[in-house]
Structure 1
Amino acid sequence: MLNEQIQKLLNNLISIEHLSTTLYLAMSAYMASKNFTGMSSWLNFQSAEERTHLLKLIKYVTDRGGTVEIQTIPAQPTNFGSPSETFTAVLEHERYVTNAYRQAVEFSTQLDQQTAAFLQDFLIEQIDEEAQALTIVDRLNLAQNNPSALILIDQELGQRAVV
């Protein structure tokens, strides 16, 4: 059975992953509307990955005898600006998620070693999440809205495949 504080912490992470999957889906739709189909595809894959995280957290809570609380999330924006602005928002969001997992691991280490170990994998994965977003932001900033460069970046991002 989960400690009440740990259950609350996990439900908070469930809310963050729920927000993440929805945010990236909204960004994907926005990029598609701007004909950046590769960026849209990348964001769609990212949304699916965040949904996988969400489902893992839900399974963990239920496996440990806890109660899952799916919270309502706010409506997502419909305009994310330029590709550079969109992916800067991705990077900022990933940093927020990393911080949430870092705090969760620190807190759970004091109360529930199993949960701390479980969450450690998410925290380690955030290294790659932030690195990918930073690479994309750096490349988009180098492109400086040059249409040819944006098309090349869009094509590259469209090649992302599920590993």
Structure 2
Amino acid sequence: MVREEVQQLINSLIQIEHISTTLYLAMSAYLDRMNYIGMAKWLRLQSEEERTHMLTLIDYLAGKDGVVKWSDVPAQSSNYGTPLETFQKVLEHEEYVTNAYRQAYDYIKQVDPQTTVIIQDFLREQIDEEAQSLTIVDRLKLAGDNSSALLLIDQELGQRQNGGTPVG
């Protein structure tokens, strides 16, 4: 049986991943509505990736006879501004997620070395998540209001396949 404080910690991370998947899905729908089809696809795949993270944590907790506790997911916006503003929010959210995993790792390594391994895997992945988001933000800044440049970025992001992005 998993210790209560570890169970609470994993449940909080499940909640963060649940919020992440709904946030990115909402952003995807917004950009799709704005006809940025490639950016919408990139965010939809990101939503699926976050859902996979959530399921991994659920499976881990269930495999240790833990109890998954669900919390309400806040309603998501239907407007995220320009593509740059949208991806700045993505970057901010990824930084928030990284910080949550960093805090979880700092705590968990003291009380449950086995769980440290899974948290460390997520932390390692966050390096790539932040780097991808930052690259997209930087490219959107370079594009500014140039519609041709925005469409090229949109096209590039639309080439993403499950498990990664062609950015970089």
User: Same fold by TM-score, threshold 0.5 exceeded?
Assistant: yes
Count of residues in correspondence between the two structures: 163
Deviations 1:61-113 (A, max 9, x none): 00011000121111000000000000000000000000000000110001000
Question: What's the % identity of the aligned pairs?
Answer: 61
Q: How far did residue 117 of structure 1 move?
A: 1.1
Looking at structure 1, the residues matched to 2 and 91 of structure 2 have their Cα atoms a distance apart, in angstroms, of: 32
Match of 2:76 in 1: 76
Deviations 1:12-51 (A, max 9, x none): 0000000000000000000000000000000000000000
Looking at structure 1, the residues matched to 19 and 145 of structure 2 have their Cα atoms a distance apart, in angstroms, of: 29
Match of 1:8 in 2: 8
- TM-score between both structures, scaled by the size of structure 1: 0.99
CA RMSD of aligned residues (A): 0.5
Looking at structure 1, the residues matched to 146 and 70 of structure 2 have their Cα atoms a distance apart, in angstroms, of: 42
Question: In the TM superposition, what are the counterparts of 1:127-146 in structure 2 within 5 Å?
Answer: 127-146=127-146
For structure 1, the residue ranges without an aligned partner over 5 or more in a row are none
Looking at structure 2, the residues matched to 162 and 21 of structure 1 have their Cα atoms a distance apart, in angstroms, of: 15
Looking at structure 2, the residues matched to 30 and 161 of structure 1 have their Cα atoms a distance apart, in angstroms, of: 20
Looking at structure 2, the residues matched to 122 and 22 of structure 1 have their Cα atoms a distance apart, in angstroms, of: 19
For structure 2, the residue ranges without an aligned partner over 5 or more in a row are 164-168
Question: In the TM superposition, what are the counterparts of 1:30-45 in structure 2 within 5 Å?
Answer: 30-45=30-45
Superposed structure 1 runs of 4+ greater than 6 Å apart: none
